[in-house]
Amino acid sequence: MEGRKEPEVSRRRPLAAGVLTLVLLGAMLALVSASSGSTAKPQAAAQKPSAIISTGKGFGEVYAAKASTLKHTLFKAKLIPKEKIARNIALAGLGRADRKVNEALALKCWKNNGCDTGTKGKLTVAYIEQFGENVYRQMSKMEFILQALTYPQVGKIVYSSAHLDFNKAFADWKAAIAQGVDVIVTYPDFADAMIPVMKEATDAGIPVATYAWGYVTDPGKNYLTVVGEDTCVTGKTYAYVMNNRVKSGKIAFLGGFAGNPLSEGWQKCEGPALRSSIDVVAKEPTDWNPSKVQQVVAGILAKHPDIKGWSYEYGLGMAQGAYAAYRAAGKPFDTVLTLRTDDVGMGCLFNQLKNPKLEMYYTSSFNSHIRVALTAGMMKLKGAKIPPKIVFPIELQNQRVRDSCVKGYPQEASATSLIPLSLLKKMYP
């Protein structure tokens, strides 16, 4: 958090076998762990949350969501923003996931990269990607489309991906601004380099929201708001795991595209929170591409065959890339993983290996945060005051306690997505 020093994560308490939770409450970080030696799912249901969590309504929204919906996508219904206005926006955004929409139209819109909604609504909403060519972003695209379809005033949905071409990224923004779209949601792979066009849109009266903690300098000024978990908290949580499970030795950081705010956010905070006995021997970009993950991990293993842990965002990349590198090197997959996504494929690989020396801790993929970003933009059009940051607490799960290999889900998918399973299977048959 800018402007004040975060307290260090406590290292005195031994790591429990259950759930790790790091919740941001004002200026304080509290680490909560639930102890369990079984492989059963965590007993979050024992809390018996109310059927609906509601805080009121306003600006065309009902600030209410089913506790079951929140639990599905966030692990626990209570893991929503603490600040009042941010909490209202989160409830409004995630609550819309339970509204019925035309799934056939959503699938068509997803395949065609945009569509007319058929409502004759006057608003156009845009999801502008710098890079949209992986499963995570494609699932986010569907979450965005499904959310947009809950607004009858939205008559057109626009999507573009620049394929990581900086010039095309700028051109896509210029085109959207010239077209007069009403709301823009984005993940800024090029980080602060996107400020000129984000500010241009903002100055033109177009609310711009980022998700997945796509942090760009001066939210609330250069753009409307950033939505997601505080990635510095993620990094400190990763460090807590490594400090207690690895304790000493070599680990490596993997990231997405060089300079992207998600990877930089957790990496800059995990490093200083690690014990001095832990040595980060590599920080490598992977473009969130399993083939490149394999190549990068193979190179690190060749130099450091005794490496003990890996921190990364992309669970499926580890399943499809890192594991292949270990096999090619003739090494058992004996390592500690801290991951930001709950891709089903990684959880299923973990279960298949039955390796007691493999440890895996992960968060929700948070694709559904894009829904909150869109709702923030829609509320801004109605005159709402939107906070510059909409921060969700996080909870890190132990794969041995909460199984992410969820039956019936495509291997590529996140089971915490709010995309209906029937639709996910059509996206990834």
Does residue 273 sit in the same domain as residue 184? no
As for how many domains the chain has, the answer is: 2
Is residue 73 one of the residues assigned to a domain? no
Of 20-24, 35-39, 245-249, 373-377, least confident by mean pLDDT is 35-39
Pairwise CA distance, residues 386 & 410, whole Å: 36
Does residue 184 sit in the same domain as residue 156? yes
Does residue 307 sit in the same domain as residue 246? yes
Of 133-137, 214-218, 378-382, least confident by mean pLDDT is 133-137
Is residue 319 one of the residues assigned to a domain? yes
Output the pLDDT for position 43: 34
The answer for residues whose C-beta is within 8 angstroms of residue 85's C-beta and 6 or more apart is: 384, 385, 386, 387
Average pLDDT over residues 215-220: 97
The CA–CA distances, whole Å, from 216 to 168, 219, 348 equal 19, 7, 35
Does residue 204 sit in the same domain as residue 126? yes
Is residue 346 one of the residues assigned to a domain? yes
130-141 pLDDT, tens digit each: 999 889 999 999
Does residue 124 sit in the same domain as residue 240? no
Pairwise CA distance, residues 256 & 285, whole Å: 5
Average pLDDT over residues 182-193: 96
Does residue 202 sit in the same domain as residue 309? no
Does residue 88 sit in the same domain as residue 226? yes
Mean pLDDT of the chain, nearest integer: 90
Average pLDDT over residues 323-331: 98
Is residue 388 one of the residues assigned to a domain? yes
Output the pLDDT for position 50: 58
Q: Tell me the CATH number at 123.
A: 3.40.50.2300
Does residue 210 sit in the same domain as residue 327? no
Percentage with pLDDT > 70 across the chain: 88
Q: Is residue 220 left, alpha or beta, with left meaning phi > 0 and alpha meaning psi from -120 to 50?
A: left
- Other CB atoms within 10 A of residue 249 CB: 16
Does residue 237 sit in the same domain as residue 351? yes
166-186 pLDDT, tens digit each: 999 999 999 999 999 999 999
Is residue 410 one of the residues assigned to a domain? no
The two structure tokens encoding residue 66 = 């089913």
Output the pLDDT for position 48: 52
Q: Is the pLDDT of residue 6 over 50?
A: no
Q: 317: domain range?
A: 231-362
Is residue 357 one of the residues assigned to a domain? yes
Kindly tell me the sign of the dihedral angle through the C-alpha atoms of 292, 295, 301, 304: negative
Percentage with pLDDT > 90 across the chain: 87
Is residue 56 one of the residues assigned to a domain? no
Average pLDDT over residues 389-397: 96
The CA–CA distances, whole Å, from 176 to 85, 92, 112, 142 equal 28, 26, 17, 19
Is residue 281 one of the residues assigned to a domain? yes
Q: What are phi and psi of 348, to 5 degrees?
A: -70, -40
Residue 317 burial (C-beta neighbours within 10 Å; 0-12, 13-18, 19+): buried
Residue 151's pLDDT band (boundaries 50, 70, 90)? very high
End-to-end C-alpha distance for the chain, whole angstroms: 41
226-274 pLDDT, tens digit each: 999 999 999 999 999 999 999 999 999 999 999 999 999 999 999 999 9
399-428 pLDDT, tens digit each: 999 999 999 999 989 999 999 999 999 999
Residue 230 burial (C-beta neighbours within 10 Å; 0-12, 13-18, 19+): buried
27-52 pLDDT, tens digit each: 333 333 332 222 333 333 344 545 99
Output the pLDDT for position 429: 87
